[in-house]
Structure 1
Amino acid sequence: MDLDQYIRFLMALVFVVALIMVVAWVMRRVGMAGGTVRGRARQRRLSVVEALPIDAKRRLVLVRRDDREHLILLSANGDLLVDSTPAGGFDSALAGVEAAPADALRPAGSDPR
């Protein structure tokens, strides 16, 4: 092979790689990459807050949807909803208890003194 054939091959390779990069960039800008719907006005309603692997086959995942958090156990045998609470967790629950009137916190039948 002559030197000019090597140069032509190298130039064609660089052109093809650059073309692939341009197409990927355009797809990302249009929103076709990643399988997600992109939009500036759209708020995300679903997010994974935290994931904790328990062992090789099981994992706990904390998922936030709108104003609720769901604790889900994922395993090879199936998925299980462990808990579902309002978003914010312990801090928001504590704030709700502090804001409640004292009569609402007293057990039924207790002395109001």
Structure 2
Amino acid sequence: MVTSAAYYVYAALMLGLVIGFILVAGWLVRRFGGGALLRLPGRADRRLGVVEAMALDPRRRLVLIRRDGVEHLLLLGGTQDLHLEGPITRPGPPLGPPHAPRRAFDAILQETAAPPATAPGQDP
């Protein structure tokens, strides 16, 4: 079989094209997130999910998971896996902006806890 220089040029171009496709696909996954591929129709009722993960060192990582609306903090890797904290309930909505003074919150709480006003013509 006789091979020419054109064959090697063609093979190098095709190899470059395949590597280019792989790089573009990797960039798209990093840019738009790999989780977007898992968010398909019909998968909205999932009960278990990873909220956040953080590598502590090459072997250990902290993982925050949510199961049925309750979060658990796990330490994975090393010699054993540990359940560090949980169940963690999600905090309620904040009472106001973080810069508002505490007296304003107390005033709002007193207004909402005050007894209802009496109707006209009734004795208190």
**Quick check: which has more Rg, 1 or 2?**
2
Q: Same fold (TM over 0.5)?
A: no
After TM superposition, the score normalised by the length of structure 2 is 0.42
Q: More strand per residue: 1 or 2?
A: 1
